[in-house]
Structure 1
């Protein structure tokens, strides 16, 4: 076990991990002591006690959120790992597009490693997920779902990627209240949430820049943000469009905390603008219904 590499992976997601544990110098000294003085079998237990101290005592609700996030991050990580391994087959152009998708893959893998480490440190055995755990066609394991073309079509793949990212943003927002009593876990989750939002925005820009095959509906100018409940995707398949729309239902909301945003304070603010200013959460049940076709 390379403890320094493990900590480095956690630091990618939670830059303040050293502050939670101790000073960086003291942490590295303690890890060195663990590696030199404890039997290999005892190392996970020692690390677990350190992470329990760093992230606090967690109740079942928090653990449920972490396990749920772990499933979603594995889905995304395996999706992008598959995409990166098949750039030529999918038709992803060399240069910035391949670079961006590779970077997003690395981010998702870092999220998986972080969540796995935290769950393990809390005496929870994370589920084992591989590419075989998911059906990226949305066919519940048939391999022939409505998004099968994503394996060979760049535009369709980006549309699926956008939907995954937008769903992830709303998932973290929906689960955040369940973490309100554990500030450290809440902060880490929101740090992941903001990165997912950046992914979604960038993929929308990639779709917008496509000369053809972007699947953007006629008359729609795709933006880095969500307008009303518009996905900005038209696959030409009613079933696929309906599945995608589940990720955008409720985004047309123009009221926040009981305050109507449209024309607030005498300013001219349209429903489009009011909806764009806020992302809306999705419940765990809604997210489960969205991702179910992709989980074997």
Structure 2
């Protein structure tokens, strides 16, 4: 186990973790005190102690939410890992190569972070499902046609942003876990925006903004409509903001949450 790499991965997902642990040096020193033949056996206990200090005790609801998030991160991590490795998919020698590789690495970091957090809160991480990224034949060229790949990527990212927002309320009893989840949420939002800008740069004749307008799919079509339904809402906290801005601007201003059941229905075709 590469402890230094693990701590670095945690720091990337939750930059404020050391404010709870005193410092990075403090976190590393906990493991430095573990030596000799007891090291491998003691590491999980020391790691659990560190997370209990940083994030407190978990409960079944929080672990359930984190496992739900982990399934989505498994999906995205494997999608980008396969896409980055697919021959001649991402245009060689373009900034897209670095962008896809960076997103791939972020998603894998999210997987590792969530698995560690679940274990440290006393839970068991769900196993990675087997995925069918064609969605049972809906996107048969997903790893051979770059535009289809980006379209599916956009759908995953937009859905992920709404999924994290939808589960925020279930984490409200643990401020530290909530903060970490929302930090992942913000990374997913940046992914979504960047993928949308990459699609716009393809000059396919479809106008795609860095954010969702109404419940528009950005030209992907009815197969992904469920990921966008409800985004056209213009009332926030009981206030109809059409009094201040246009309907398009009102819908663009907020990401609407998706329920867990809605997300599970959306991703079901991608899971064998």
Aligned counterpart, 1:237: none
**CA displacement at 1:45 relative to structure 2:** 2.0
Contact 1:87–1:98 (8 Å) recurs in 2: no
Residue in 1 that maps onto 2:135: 138
Query: 1:272 aligned to 229, 232, 248, which one?
Result: 248
**TM-score scaled to structure 2, two decimals?**
0.95
Change (3 A) 1:22 1:243: same
2:189 to 194, 197, 209: 197
Q: Which runs of 5+ in 1 are unaligned?
A: 140-144, 235-240
Name the CA distance, whole Å, in 1 between partners of 2:2 and 2:187: 26
> Within 5 A, what are the aligned runs for 1:158-197?
158-197=150-189
Question: Contact conserved, 1:169 with 1:197, CA < 8 A, in 2?
Answer: yes
The answer to whether the 8 A contact 1:73-1:111 is kept is yes
- 2-structure distance, mates of 1:181, 1:55: 11
Moved over 6 A (4+): none
Aligned residue for 1:82, secondary structure, equals helix
Q: TM-score, normalised by structure 1?
A: 0.88
Q: Shift in Å at residue 27 of structure 1?
A: 2.1
Give 1:34-49 correspondences, 5 Å limit.
34-36=34-36, 38-49=38-49
Question: Which range moves more in the overlay, 121-130 or 190-199?
Answer: 121-130
Offset at 1:93? Answer: 4.1
CA positional deviation for 1:87: 4.5
- 2:15: which partner in 1? 15
Aligned partner of 1:156 in structure 2 is: 148
Alignment of 1:286 onto 2:265: no
Say what the alpha-carbon RMSD is for the aligned residues: 1.6
Q: CA deviation at 1:60?
A: 1.2
Distance 1:35 1:72 in 2: 37
Residue-by-residue CA offset, 1:147-192 (whole Å, 9 max, x unaligned) = 1111210111000000000000000000001111101110011101
- Cα offset, 1:295, TM superposition: 1.1
